[in-house]
A and B are shown apart, each in its own frame.
Chain A
Amino acid sequence: MTTGAAGTGTAGAAGVPRLSVRGLSKRYGSIQALDAVDFELRAGEVMALLGENGAGKSTLVKVLAGLVAPDAGAVAIDGRDVDLFPSARSQAAGVAVVHQEYSLVPAMSIAENLVLGQGDAPDLWLPWRLAARARRLLEAVGLAHLDPRTRVERLSVAEMQLVEIARLLGRDARILIFDEPTAALADREIERILRVIRRLADEGRGVIYVTHRLAEVFRLADRVTVFRNGRSLPALPTAELDVAGVITMMLGRELGTMFPGHGQPAGAPVLEVEALEAPGLTAPVSLQVRAGEILGLTGQLGSGAADVVRCLAGLAPPAAGRVLLARRPVRLDSRAAALAEGLAYCSADRKRDGIFFGRPIRENLTAPWIGRVARAGLIAPAAERVAATPVAARFAVDVRRLGTPVGAMSGGNQQKVAVGKWLGAAPRVMLLDEPTRGVDVGARAEIYRRLRELCDEGMAIVVASSDTAEVFGLSDTIGTFYRGRLTELRPRAGWTEDAVVREVMHEEAPA
């Protein structure tokens, strides 16, 4: 790994920050994404960059990466003014970024991906050196067990994220930027990534860390900068802050409660799963969900929780077992069949199979149920708008921006579209995989509240999540998975949050 030279030697005189941003502005059409932002980063520190969805965090990251030219403002590295646009200049200035969206090439091998975009890659011509180098980088992020020749498309989301970080390590960078690197990961992997990042900072680099997971901030960051509506608040040392204080800074108000109350699910089960065997499961799974109930399934990545949800959604046909909806057996051999039965499904990876990136929000919202809006197979634009508006409003998506491509929205707003669109299909059961990935605290509380409302109106909801706090806070019933097996299933009253975490880790000693 190429460490050392990158950071420590050039730490700069005391008082000269590694990176200083003054009066930076960037406007997209009518939206002022950055409004005279000031920002400072010292060598050897981890600076957390926080803010609501759409606050401008990723826009700052893109400016620093040289992907976006700012309208106004100045950037200095080690006291010298620099122009970071376009990205080649940013790279030359020593800035390296893990973007919020993955940028690996799925069809290429890990080793090839690790040298992508690095102008001088002489190793590329010598496969064994390419592999050796890849192995070194993989080891540094705890992926030593992977064969560098594996194609990236075969990796899990967590592994991809680690490969993405490994790629940064291969470069001499003075400033490392991570835009929500853990959004897709479970506790164990997060721990691993945080350790790697801490080490990179200790070696003298400046690290900017964007996240919505506040617990990480207090474990990792030295200081915190909060963005609100495109403006920056002065940086504060983490030691002087607490979670509630940070949230108040982000929202400009107090959050109130994160989780809504719990329901009183009653009556007969809506969804009954009997001895289900499906890809990813090592033992048959049986469970029930009643109307008005939120069932939370949790486990580490690959534990099987997400696989149950995918199977119920019709994406991975069951090998054995029975699934009943309102007492009637249903076939789950295709997604269309499951959808017709009233099973809505929101995937964990919105960019892959949750949204249509370049299409307008309106089309994204109506996609699964456009047939309901149409007459004789024809869509009346006015009718579509009328149908889409309440769905957007219900999930706090700006109804004036229905014509905007969803890809131009901030990550959290994309997620609201990905979840919210299913309302239009009036489903009986809502299946959600990692429903609040990359969603800010405010919007997260919003999504939880909406889900609870839907439940109170009689829907049954199944949430698979590797975020144990989320599952504990939201669910009426909690099921834990370990290595493809449902290990425990009981009402929330029978759990404590610690018990959930212990059960998820199972007999293993905590990492």
Chain B
Amino acid sequence: MTAPRADAPAAGQAGRPGGAEAARLWPIVALASLAVLVIAAMAVTPNFLSVENLRGILRNAAIVGIVAVAMAPVTLSGSFVSLGVTQSAMAAMVGFVVLIGWGWPDWLAVGAVIAGMVAIGMVQGVLVAAGLNPVITTLAAGAILFGTVSELTGGRIVRMGPARPAWGGGEVLGIPLEILVLVLFTGAVTLLMSRSVIGRQTILVGANRATAAVSGISHARVTLVAFAVFSVGLALAGILNAAAFGEAMANSLTGLTFSVIAALLVGGIAIQGGAGSPWQAAAGAVLIAVISNMMVLNDFSPGGRLAVQGAVVVAAVVLIDQVRRRRARG
């Protein structure tokens, strides 16, 4: 085999020439395709550029974006993705509805849900740090959460009742709350990854775990922090959704896992870790929302929309791979 080591599966943890460069180049590609899409959308869909529509797009992107941004550190650290996104966010959502329904003050309920989610996330983080496969760990955690919530709610819808927070689904200075949270959260996590010691270490562990170990960087600490950040994002997404709708059930948020992973991939974050930045996940979420919106305005069937979304993910992954290979070759 004369393929460069970069392309051999063997490279795995060790080396991915061009990975970082591809990640650096990818935002440009992503932005360019976003621009092309917007222009195309304007041409074929008259209502596309209305303030209402744009706001709708961002709103749709917000929940997915928040969770995708939150998951970025897990992916960057080399722990792939969580397959329990839907169930975790749903648990946060149901939890918040129940607490508000019990008459807890808003701030206390928010704090409790975040703390609870972080605790659940840390347990998964500990298991992954101890060497368990992250995909299986998160899948199992998702199943446990779903089972528990189903059992406790008896599969019925839970409602907040009259105590529903006034800010649910609301706006701050004319900006929908979800969008504001997405922007702030994306900024915070992006800064954490690019400017903090733990963020740098997260990316280095993802780039090469063995070298990181020799450099005295703790894989366990990085994994725990990554899962904690992830859990905060899950809690925020669940709370925002619960506050907007005032009710929740065990089957809420289906499809979120796929959308979040799609946003991550379309955003160009290296699935093996070690290259990329959280804001790219937010960009990926917006890109996907734009595409779905175009399809809605142009009367695509739900099945057709899903198929196109899948195709976009595949196209993005292929494109990233091409960029990476080209770069590796020089």
A residues near B, CB below 8 A? 26, 28, 62, 65-69, 87, 90-91, 96-97, 99, 101-107, 116-118, 167, 313, 315, 335-336, 339-340, 345, 347, 351-360, 363, 367-368, 370-371, 374, 377-381, 405, 407-408
Contacts and interface: CB of A to CB of B under 8 A. Distances in A.
A368 B329 contact: no
A345 B17 contact: no
A265 B43 CA distance: 79
Interface of B: 1-5, 8-10, 14-21, 195-198, 200-201, 203-204, 207-208, 210-218, 274-275, 329-330
B41 to A, nearest CB: 35
Contacts of A377: 196-198
14 contacts: A97-B2, A99-B2, A101-B5, A105-B8, A105-B9, A167-B1, A353-B214, A356-B207, A356-B211, A356-B212, A357-B208, A374-B196, A379-B200, A407-B17
B204 A356 contact: yes
B196 A379 contact: yes
A184 to B, nearest CB: 14
A353 to B, nearest CB: 4
A378 B196 contact: yes
A126 B23 CA distance: 42
A446 B254 CA distance: 61
A358 B274 contact: yes
A315 to B, nearest CB: 7
B214 A347 contact: yes
B44 to A, nearest CB: 39
A359 B197 contact: no
Contact of A87 (B2, B14, B16, B201): B2
Contact of A99 (B5, B196, B215): B5
A418 to B, nearest CB: 9
B207 A358 contact: yes
Contacts of B201: 370
Contacts of A405: 17-18, 20-21
A379 B194 CA distance: 8
Contact of B216 (A340, A353, A355, A360): A340
A335 B8 contact: no
B241 to A, nearest CB: 32
A101 B217 contact: no
Given A99-B5, A117-B3, A315-B214, 18 more contacts: A87-B2, A87-B3, A90-B2, A97-B2, A99-B2, A103-B3, A103-B8, A107-B10, A167-B1, A352-B210, A353-B214, A356-B204, A358-B21, A358-B207, A358-B275, A368-B216, A405-B21, A407-B18
A69 to B, nearest CB: 7
Contacts of A371: 197
A379 B1 contact: no
Most chain A beta-carbon neighbours within 10 Å: one of B10, B201, B203:
B10
A403 to B, nearest CB: 10
B262 to A, nearest CB: 24
B214 A360 contact: no
Nearest to A346: B214
B197 A374 contact: yes
Contacts of A352: 14, 210-211
Given A377-B198, A379-B196, A356 B214 contact: no
Query: Which of B16, B214, B275 counts the most A-chain CB atoms under 10 A from its CB?
Result: B214
Contacts of B14: 351-352, 357
A271 to B, nearest CB: 18
B20 A360 contact: yes
Contacts of A353: 208, 210-211, 213-214
A-B interface, 3 closest residue pairs, ranked by CB to CB distance from nearest: A117-B1, A357-B15, A353-B210
Contacts of B329: 67-69
A105 B10 contact: yes
A345 B210 CA distance: 13
A354 B210 CA distance: 8
B5 to A, nearest CB: 4
B211 A355 contact: yes
A133 B19 CA distance: 36
A102 B5 contact: yes
A332 B274 CA distance: 28
Contact of A359 (B8, B10, B207, B213): B207
Nearest to B205: A356
A419 B216 CA distance: 15
A177 to B, nearest CB: 10
B216 A339 contact: yes
Contact of B212 (A62, A107, A345, A367): A367
Contacts of A65: 2
A335 B203 contact: no
Contacts of B200: 363, 367, 370, 379
Contacts of A315: 214
Contacts of A117: 1-3
A117 to B, nearest CB: 2
B16 A367 contact: no
A335 B10 contact: no
Contacts of A87: 2-3
A359 B196 contact: no
A359 B20 contact: yes
A90 B3 CA distance: 11
A69 B325 CA distance: 13
A168 to B, nearest CB: 10
Contacts of A367: 200, 204, 211-212, 215, 217
A105 B8 CA distance: 7
A96 B1 CA distance: 9
Contacts of A356: 204, 207-208, 211-212, 274
A97 B4 CA distance: 10
Nearest to A67: B4
Nearest to A167: B1
B210 A103 contact: no
Contacts of A106: 10
A91 B330 contact: no
Nearest to B275: A358
